[in-house]
Amino acid sequence: MIKLNLKQIMKDQKLSLTDLSELTGISTNSLGALANGKSNGIQFHTLEKILDATGCRVEELIHNVGSLYTISLLRDSNNYGSFTNLEAKPFAYNIQFKNQDNGKTGILKIQVSALLNKVHLPKSNIDKISIQILFMDFILENESDKELSFFIKNADDSLMTALAHLIATELLWNYQSEGINHNSSILFSWYGFPNVSHNCNDILIKPFPYELSVSDGNTTELKFDYVSPFIADLNSLTRTFPNIKNVSHNAETGKTSISIYSK
């Protein structure tokens, strides 16, 4: 899919639509449609005017990118009882890939194993918790979408890290144990695929926002709506991988979605 990088170029050059319109003679409405991906195409003379005005090369303005997929976990039947220390627990997930360009969906079935290692630090009264996610197997249910099939079979750091963050968020949402609280120290990591480098296997965790309540005028109480007071730092994905464009998490339902371009 061809995408125009005009919006980012204008931002980098601190150009408004009005500025670019004055430089090119193209209306602000037409430029706005091009910048926001609302245009059906671009004519050569329009392209030439924008290149002359911005000083950019064609390859800087026009990018050949993959389709945009929104990925989310479907309802599962996993047993999320308390972890036993040093116990590897199997989990099965169905992950939906929805192509935002044509509305087609595909289901990726993933088998993972999660290993918990918990060490209590008596001096600080903190539980140091390490959870490792091992990707064991995956099957794409419908391979009629050739682009999606290629995207998954050639999964890179961005896709695997996105999937790992989805699963980590789900585990934290459902993980029930008194050993995890806002004073815990948690480290999440993932591994398991040979074609993915090993320098991106950390899953960043951050405290889940809590409500502060005061009773009797002076008693402060932390109230967590979450089973676990932690969540995977989904925003770190957009900071790390340019092809991950959007993340969202619904604190009421626990539903998480990530939008990612195939490569």
Half-sphere exposure of 38 (CA within 13 A, CB side): 8
**Same domain assignment for residues 131 and 194:** yes
Share of the chain above pLDDT 70, in %: 81
Question: Hey, what's the torsion of the CAs at 195, 71, 254, 223, to 10 degrees?
Answer: 60
49 and 77 within one domain: no
Residue 29 pLDDT: 92
Looking at every residue in the chain, the average pLDDT score rounds to 80
Q: How far apart (Å, rounded) are the C-alpha atoms in residues 66 and 148?
A: 10
Residue 102 is part of which domain span? 68-261
Residues 216 and 88 in one domain: yes
> 142 and 39 in one domain?
no
Same domain, yes or no: 48 and 124: no
Question: What is the pLDDT at residue 80?
Answer: 79
Task: Provide the 10 A C-beta neighbour count for residue 209.
Answer: 11
The answer on 75 and 37 residing in a single domain is no
Q: pLDDT band at residue 225, thresholds of 50, 70 and 90?
A: very low
| Number of structural domains in the chain | 2
Region 5-23: what's the mean pLDDT? 91
Statement: residue 243 has pLDDT above 90: no
Q: Both 105 and 228 in a single domain?
A: yes
Of 78, 139, 138, 141, the residue nearest 114 (C-alpha): 78
| Domain co-membership, 34 together with 92 | no
Per-residue model confidence as pLDDT tens digits over 131-153: 888 888 889 987 778 888 888 88
Task: Judge if 50 and 114 occupy the same domain.
Answer: no
Residue whose entry in the numeric block shows the structure tokens 């074609």: 195
Amino acid at 132: Q
Say if CB 106 and CB 148 are below 8 A apart: yes
Please name the helix (run of DSSP H) or strand (run of DSSP E) that holds residue 6, with its range, or none. helix 6-12
Instruction: Kindly report the pTM of this predicted structure.
Output: 0.69
Q: What is the distance between the alpha carbons of residues 207 and 232, in angstroms, rounded to a whole number?
A: 9
Are both 131 and 17 inside the same structural domain? Answer: no
